[in-house]
A and B are shown apart, each in its own frame.
Chain A
Amino acid sequence: MEYHPTIQTTIFISLFLVVYLVVLLKNTIKNAIDLYDFLLLSSVAIIPSIFVLFPKFSEFLARLFGVAFPFVVLFSLLLLIIFVYLYRLVVKINNLNNKNILLIQELALLSKKILEKKNNE
């Protein structure tokens, strides 16, 4: 089955790509997100754009993965990116939580040490 995106779809996706990338770039420059996160998040817009702007390539991918419709590959790729991103976030949150606990413990032990020193003087 041949796949032909309409002109409306192409315009909408291209606009989304530009606006989304500008927002992401701005936040990356402000250090709100790191470069790796920028790459992952930008691919959420870049991948659909590739599928729309290069229909022959998306058909090739569909044939390569043995699926009837290119959008199946598109959504699979997007889901994969979301899972990778989610995994990274879970690991980051756990690391931060462990560091937070460690810091609170060290702070309490250090405060106690200082208090004991003061009392001994």
Chain B
Amino acid sequence: MPQRILVMIPCYNEESSIGPLLREIQELDVHYDTLVIDDGSQDNTYSTASKLSSCLRLVANIGIGGCVQTAIKYAFLNDYDLAIQVDGDGQHPPSQIHTLINDYTKSPSNLIIGSRFLLKERFQSTLMRRIGISAISCIIKWLFGKKITDPTSGLRLMDREAIKLFSSEYPHDFPEPISVGFALERGLTIREVPIAMRTREHGTSSISGIKTIAYMLRVIGYLILIRIGRHL
């Protein structure tokens, strides 16, 4: 098992969910270093999280991409072997961290993504979002030749090589699917493991309704740019 593991939890206005999530992680059999990155929240996310975990506070909201990259930079600077991203809204059960690490131990890959669509049970998102995710998945397969069933999943494990790449280059917009394109373009290995997700208990998703279509189209545009980028 790798020696140093960092669990990165990006947060924005998650004061209701961050406390229970951190307590759940602390109750696991294995101790993990946790790092909460507060992306300029306007509520008490930072004060709640800092009582239970190590925290990084961004003075202004820079978006999920910049927020996650800050944690990846921290992992790189502090020489972590693995960095695991878990969303701060509590949708990812902490028990799934074991699933990712076990899978990495059995067969290491640079990036391991927790996919809610391989294990067809529990929360699988709205129909509109599933259609959008399928379209992004098809585009990734077409552009990079790799089938990724859940490219938008925020539960993912990165090894040293992925940490090194993403600490210097990480998309600021729509980071999850686009970082998959980045990684595949740079020749990193990616695998998916089935995970179960929970429904969000507090707050609302920033992507819903018509925004889903705009999200999908912009992600597809960015992926095409990454693919043709090396030919320009």
Cross-chain contact A109 with B74 (CB below 8 angstroms): yes
Cα A108 to Cα B69 with chains together (Å): 12
The proximity string for B residues 32-43 relative to A, scoring 1 for CB distances below 8 Å and 0 otherwise, is 000001000000
Do residues A109 and B77 form an inter-chain contact, with CB atoms below 8 A? yes
Among A98, A107, A109, the residue within 8 A (CB) of B59 is: A107
Q: A72 near B: Cβ within 8 Å?
A: no
CB–CB B56/A104 < 8 A: no
Q: Is A92 an interface residue (CB 8 A)?
A: no
Q: Do A101 and B172 touch across chains, with their CB atoms under 8 A apart?
A: yes
The B33-61 residues at the A interface (CB cut-off 8 A) are 37, 54-60
Inter-chain contact A105/B172, CB cutoff 8 Å: no
Q: How many angstroms between the C-alpha atoms of A20 and B173 in the bound complex?
A: 40
Given A101-B66, A101-B172: A108 in contact with B77 (beta carbons within 8 A): no
The bracket for how many chain A residues form the interface is 10 to 19
B135 within 8 A of A: no
Chain A residues lying within 8 Å of B69, measured Cβ to Cβ, are 105
The verdict on B214 contacting chain A, using a C-beta distance below 8 Å, is no
Is A104 touching B73 in the complex (CB atoms < 8 A)?
no
CA gap between A22 and B59 in the complex, in Å: 41
CB < 8 Å neighbour of B60 from A104, A111, A112: A104
Within 8 A of B (CB), among A13-60: none
Contact of B66 among A104, A107, A109, A112 (CB under 8 A): A104
A104 pairs with B59, CB closer than 8 A: yes
**B62–A109 CB distance below 8 A:** no
Beta-carbon contact of B73 and A101 below 8 Å = no
Q: Is B149 an interface residue (CB 8 A)?
A: no
With A101-B63, A112-B56 known, 4 other A-B pairs at CB within 8 A are A100-B60, A105-B69, A105-B73, A108-B58
A interface residues (Cβ-Cβ under 8 A, vs B): 98, 100-101, 104-105, 107-109, 111-112
Chain B residues at the A interface, C-beta cutoff of 8 Å: 37, 54-60, 62-63, 66, 69-70, 73-74, 77, 172
